[in-house]
Structure 1
Amino acid sequence: MRQFLILFSVISLSLFSSDKLGKLPVYKIAVEAISQTEDNIALRDFIKEQIHSTSRGMVSLPLKGTDTKVWEFDKEGNPSPKTIESLQNLAGTDKLILVSTEDGQAVISFVDVLHQKLEYRNSLPESLSKTLVSDFLGFLDKKNIYLALSETGTGSNSQLKINSLKPTYVAGEPIRFEIESTEDNYVYVVLVPENQKGEPVLLFPNQIQNDNFVRKGDKVTIPDKRISFKAASSPSKDRIRAFASREEWKEFQLRGKKEDSFYRLLPPAVTGTKTTARSMVMVTNSLTAPIEQTPVMEWEYQILSR
């Protein structure tokens, strides 16, 4: 069971119009070949086209002097001092994709530029480079869902109310609150951690409360009293985001391990759903649309150390 600590000065309700976003929440991505060989450039261009054609990200212009920069990471994904210098020079870029072919292997690395961390690295024989790209795109779909859950703008037309959420908690104290819907809705409640390297957690529905259709006037305690959800000991600023949808989010898969209380919200590609190249473009373009188009309310609150 994972524990979470939520730190903020006062309880508040943030109101932002999703119309102000003007676009799907996606990352600004630079795709670069580690060395300018013919095979590396071909793999780089193929990945760029896949990301651009499916709207998985905003592909930035080629970087200058990429082949002379140092890209080194340890087993934990931490960059070397010279790599940190290279990352600090990447202005206006959220993520960096590095591709290379080494000893007959195609390699894809995905770097969080802001937090200077290697998030993904995988390799396959060059003959299976398209399979490698497909695996990476599934990973990117997952990241885009997390981004949409985190950044979709809230609006005053939300049909949800929250009760019993205290202004402050202490470390280790159970966190439990009540959601009320003013209309018949499918309700999705997500914990978004302050640490962007963490993943949003789907608090509702969960493995105990797997029916998330809430009728008008009904009140649901989240999480169920059979589930332990406590504040952890390390300070952080986290958010509770509640989405009210007239339609079920059928584009996504709910997945959780037996030992976990909470689900993960995943794209079909991550859970092994087969798609053709043509359908992949159509599905991906609308993958995060249900999240972006669903009214959402957000609450922030404070946990104090003991």
Structure 2
Amino acid sequence: MMKQFWILTAFLSLSLFSSDRVGKLPVYKIAVEVTNQTAETLILRDFMKDQIQSTGRGLVSLPIKNFESNVWEFDKEGIASGKSAEVLQKLNDVDKLALISTEDGQAVISFVDVLQQKLEYRNSLPESLSKTLVFDFLGFLDKKNIYLALSETGSGSNSQLKINSLKPTYVAGEPIRFEIEAAEDNFVYVVLVPENQKGEPVLLFPNQFQNDNFIRKGDKVTIPDKRISFKASTTPSKDRIRAFASREEWKEFQLRSKREDSFYKILPPAITGTKSGVRPMIGSQTITASIVQSPVMEWEYQTISR
């Protein structure tokens, strides 16, 4: 009876994370508005909306009725001021808010997370380079879409991967090390998704010391290996480990990290070259599609206080 209970619990846990996004590219619903209506800002708004929608980088919402254009203030940490937060709370039908303005001959784009009420991106260029500014923003949006795909793609019980030694509960700061076992030959990507997506997913495997992520059927790999320290959060949380099995290598990833970092930072190809005025590649959709189409298994663990 107890064995049947745990089997049922595991099945329900996996089902909770299944999503109608499976087979679809997960993207944000984005409102694009201007904070000062001039001919330049309206042209830039329409151009950016067309770029987002036509490339599938997001779903552009209808214009916000009675949009308040003069309330947008954020502190140095990017947190919305009181009035800005009040307005964001009213935006129930969008995930992100893109704000376009011109200031002293500069075109400015700001990108706000509506739920977290936080400024995620802000950049400016001379108005003559406003389209270059849009392409730089699209590079940032590509990165956000990849993170979304890594954390939102629905999981299933037919995965080609098995995880061993991952406990359901860890004490804050306790080292975490587990084992991935492959049922088929695959490239494997293992991602840590922080609780409530408050932080960006971390690519645990491959990493600086474990570059070869092609695992053959029956092989077992310890993640991370003993050369890397990976510890539970210092505060209580419920985080997720997501393991993707792919027949093809995700070559579109640019895996960058500082020399002192053990784990890679994930960058899409569109990030490069945007500052130079070169139109970014429309390539993030390729890697996002690869993520969505790859079988994925997910495990959740809890971090508790000492």
- TM-score, normalised to structure 2, is 0.91
Deviation string 1:145-177 (CA, Å, 9 cap, x unpaired) is: 000000000122210000011122112211000
Matched, 1:259 2:257: no
Identity %: 76
User: How many residues of Structure 1 are paired with residues of Structure 2 in the alignment?
Assistant: 295
| 3-state secondary structure, aligned to 2:237 | coil
Whole-angstrom CA distance in 1 between matches of 2:20 and 2:117? 31
Higher RCO (Cα < 8 Å, 6 or more apart) = 1
Whole-angstrom CA distance in 2 between matches of 1:285 and 1:131? 20
What is the CA-CA distance between 1:248 and the residue it aligns to? 0.3
Runs of 4+ in 1 over 6 A off after TM superposition: 273-276
What's 1:34 paired with? 35
Deviation string 1:80-101 (CA, Å, 9 cap, x unpaired) is: 1111111111121100000011
What's 1:107 paired with? 108
Whole-angstrom CA distance in 2 between matches of 1:20 and 1:119? 24
Deviation string 1:178-237 (CA, Å, 9 cap, x unpaired) is: 000011100000000014231100000000000000011000000011100111321122
Contact in 1 for aligned 2:184/2:218 (Cα 8 Å): yes
Whole-angstrom CA distance in 1 between matches of 2:273 and 2:191? 23
Aligned-CA RMSD value:
2.1
Unaligned runs of 5+ in 2: 1-8
Whole-angstrom CA distance in 2 between matches of 1:271 and 1:208? 25
Whole-angstrom CA distance in 1 between matches of 2:52 and 2:287? 14
Whole-angstrom CA distance in 2 between matches of 1:163 and 1:89? 44
| 3-state secondary structure, aligned to 2:197 | coil
Residue 24 of structure 2 aligns with an amino acid whose one-letter code is: K
Matched, 1:294 2:281: no
Contact in 2 for aligned 1:154/1:298 (Cα 8 Å): yes
The within-5 A match list for 1:41-190 is: 41-190=42-191
Whole-angstrom CA distance in 2 between matches of 1:275 and 1:183? 44
Deviates more, 1:230-239 or 1:56-65: 230-239
- TM-score, normalised to structure 1, is 0.91
Contact in 2 for aligned 1:163/1:177 (Cα 8 Å): yes
Whole-angstrom CA distance in 2 between matches of 1:18 and 1:186? 23
Whole-angstrom CA distance in 1 between matches of 2:194 and 2:303? 13
Whole-angstrom CA distance in 1 between matches of 2:127 and 2:139? 19
What is the CA-CA distance between 1:22 and the residue it aligns to? 5.4
Residue 197 of structure 1 aligns with an amino acid whose one-letter code is: K
Contact in 2 for aligned 1:18/1:292 (Cα 8 Å): no
Whole-angstrom CA distance in 2 between matches of 1:275 and 1:119? 22
Unaligned runs of 5+ in 1: 1-9
| 1:167–1:93 distance in 2 versus 1, CA, 3 Å | same
